[in-house]
Chain A
Amino acid sequence: MNSIIIDDEATARAIISQLCTNITELTVLEEFPNAIQAIKYINQNDVDLIFLDIHMPDFTGFDFIDSLKNPPKIILTTSDSNFAIQAFEYDCIVDYLIKPVGLDRFMKAIEKAKSIKSAIKVKTASGKVETSSGNDLYVNIDRRLIKIDVTSIYLVEAKGDYIHVKTENKNYTVHSSLKKIEEKLPGNLFLKVHRSYIINVDKIIDIEDNSVLIKKDVIPVSRSKRPELMKRLNLL
C-alpha cells in the first residue's frame, strides 16, 4: 500500500513514519505539513492510504476530505476524541487514532485498512452504479451487475433519467444520473465538462474553441468548465 502522511506537526509525522516501518507492505511516499500541498500530489500519484491529522490551521483534515472527489482510505490521527462520530460518517475513514499512537493500536488500524482494500464495496440502497476496489465499476442493467473497467470509459452522457456509458468496446445505457457516476469515477481521470457530459481526459484527441473531440464524439465544453479542463492538460 502506498501511503502519505499529512500533519502540520513534525513530531507527529516522524512518529507515524517510524510506525510504518513495522509494516513491510506499507510504503510512505511523502509527508506533508499541510493538506493543500497534498491535494496536488494525490492528483498526480496513486495513493492507497492517508494518515491525516484533523487539527490543521486554515485547512482542516475534514476540509481536505471534502475537497477530494474520490478519497483513498484514510486513517485519522488526532489528539482530539471529539470528532470520532463525525469521522465515521465518511466511508473513506478506516480508523481514528488518538495521539500519541502506540504500535499495537497502529497495527490494528493497518489490518483494518488492508481488509477494506480487498473487499468489494456494493451499495445496494441507491445503487444503480456501484464500485469495487481497483479500477472496476459495476452498473446495474436488467438486474445484472455488469463490470466495466473504468479506464476503458471515454464518455458518459446524460439522457433524461438515463446515462450512456461509452467504453472502448461497448456502450451501456444505465438508469442513473451523471451526478451518481461522477462520484464513482476517479477525479484524476474524469472531468465533467458540461452539465450533460463527463469525459475521460486521457482520451481527448483535440480541443477546439468550446468543444473536445473524444473518439468520434464532439463534446461541448461549458465556458465555466474550460479553465479546469485547460489546467488538467499537459500544455507545451
Chain B
Amino acid sequence: MEKPNLSYICSMSGGNKEFEQKLIQIIKNEFPTEKKKYLNYLKVGDYKRAAEKVHKIKHKISILGLAKSYRLTVNYENNLIDNKTVGQKDFEDVLQIITDFLETL
C-alpha cells in the first residue's frame, strides 16, 4: 500500500513552515469529522450524502500524495452515487492509513 507524504503541502507553501503546520492542523481537525460523518451516513444507508463526504475526503487523499488511493476513491464515490458500496473496504483501508499518518504529525 502507498504511503502518505507532505510533498504537495511543501511545494505550495513556498517554504512557509508556519503555513505548513497550520494546514496540517486544519487537516487533522477536519479529516476525523468528515470520516465520522461518512461512516454515519453509510450506516443509515444515505449513500448520496456518504458520497458527498467521500468527495471531500478525496481532496485530502490527493493532498497527501496518495495517487492510487485517489483513483479507487473516485470509483467508490461513483458507486455510492449509484447506490452501491463496491470498493468500501479499500476506501476504508485508505481512511485508516490517513488516520495513522495524521497521528504521527
Contacts and interface: CB of A to CB of B under 8 A. Distances in A.
Contacts of B55: 55, 79-80
Nearest to A22: B14
Contacts of A101: 12
B16 interface: yes
Contacts of B29: 10
B6 to A, nearest CB: 12
Given A18-B16, A18-B19, A102-B11, A11 B60 contact: yes
B12 A15 contact: yes
Contacts of A10: 26, 29-30
Given A14-B23, A100-B62, A55 B12 contact: no
Interface residues of A, number: 19
Contacts of B56: 8-9, 55
A79 B12 CA distance: 17
Interface in B41-66: 49, 52, 55-56, 58-60, 62-63
Interface in A26-60: 55, 57
Nearest to B56: A9
A12 B26 CA distance: 10
B5 to A, nearest CB: 13
A101 B13 CA distance: 12
A19 B55 CA distance: 22
B59 A99 contact: yes
Contacts, number: 52
Contacts of B22: 14
A8 B49 CA distance: 14
A103 interface: yes
Nearest to A19: B12
B88 to A, nearest CB: 19
A15 B13 CA distance: 8
Contacts of B26: 10-11, 14
Using C-beta atoms within 8 Å of the partner chain, give the interface range for chain B: 20 to 34
Nearest to B25: A14
B30 A11 contact: yes
Given A9-B30, A10-B26, A11-B30, A102 B59 contact: no
A18 B59 contact: no
A21 to B, nearest CB: 8
A9 B14 contact: no
Nearest to B60: A11
A8 B34 CA distance: 11
Contacts of B19: 18
A53 B63 CA distance: 16
Given A9-B59, A99-B62, 11 more contacts: A8-B56, A10-B30, A11-B30, A11-B63, A14-B22, A22-B14, A55-B55, A99-B59, A102-B8, A103-B11, A103-B14
Interface of A: 8-12, 14-15, 18-19, 22, 55, 57, 79-80, 99-103
The 6 closest A-B pairs by CB, nearest first: A99-B59, A100-B63, A79-B59, A10-B26, A100-B62, A10-B30
6 contacts: A18-B16, A18-B19, A55-B56, A57-B52, A100-B12, A103-B11
